[in-house]
Structure 1
Amino acid sequence: HNLGHALQQQDKWDTAIACYQKACELQPDSIEAEVSLANALYLRSMLPAEKQAHYAAVNYDLGRKRKLSGDLKAAIEYYRSSIIMNPDKAEVQYHLGLALQKHGNLDEAIVCYQKAQEIEPDYIQAELGLANVLYTQNKLSAEDQARYAVINYDLGNAHQSNDLKGAIEYYRQAISLQPGLAEARDRLLLALQEQENLKIKVSFAKR
């Protein structure tokens, strides 16, 4: 379906859609080929309305998988496709913001975090994401730095048991905002040790 994407970029929609359909025939189990076809059909106003919520969710899931594998560019595309089909999901806006932030698109990330907050005013992760970007731009007051450092620390603790990678990110951000936050340093060290232990266990399991 890479050829289909290239044709789509050239505005050759009919040929692109035909390519995606062929890819689906050749790879009937490929969810990415199916989604590429659905996204193209949507952009041509050819995707049935009752299927749009489903494919918005599938785009979001693919975006998260690509982000976890380190392919931020593909993740951003999937998140954008999800939002085009269903713009009222705060979680998707937030994750697009995260991906854009990691990719260095800070101004776009800010817009996404703000949209997430508009949809869900109590969405603490979106508020925190916005604060973290503002900090990197030297636009966060010392008082807010201290407050958001504690929030990052608390979220790190909340993620420790089921999302070690996420917890480590929160602890690192807490320390960045408030270098003197000893509790965050201690927790980060423990989390990194646990992560290393898990890697060793996986390595032994593969032998």
Structure 2
Amino acid sequence: MKTNKKILSSEQREELLGILKARFEKNMNRHKDLEWAKVQEKLEVNEEKLWSLDDMEISGGEPDVVGYDKKTDEYIFYDCSPESPKGRRSLCYDGAALESRKEHKPANSAMEVAADMGIEILTEEQYRELQQFGKFDTKTSSWIKTPTDIRKLGGALFCDFRYGTIFTYHNGAESYYAARAFRGSLRV
């Protein structure tokens, strides 16, 4: 069970690090020229980031390292589950969209859940970057960070991968579907 301080127990931490290491080693195409030992060093001194990665894992995101930012000395994790994370589906886009629904409200919104998890929703550019590592969302879709001008008009964007192509679509931000979640990113 997690605490309010967003710190994992030593058992949870060891289990998560084992899962992340195995995924890292199995998917070297996502992070060529990076070493797990250096990633683990960073993780071990960032308790809240480990907590966020654990939330990503528990909700079905299968987080993995997809890059390293030399300027900020940060490793970049994305949700790499083949389909949108099961534990984050059936959410509308943001809090304003949730409030606007008069009936049949979803449990929460993608933006609020991401904030609670301490992660960012992928941008369209990041989503397209993710697709370089495989085929993701071939049966599901994922909300992406929506530009303010679109959101002000009541819309929100999502992406998926169909017919060998990455598609970006729009919906009312208050909509939600059993096959749509969101993918997150985290910098450590």
TM-score band, normalised by the shorter chain?
A: under 0.3
Structure with a larger share of its residues in strand: 2
* Structure showing greater relative contact order (alpha-carbon pairs closer than 8 Å, 6 or more residues apart): 2
Greater helix share, 1 or 2? 1
Structure with higher Rg: it is 1
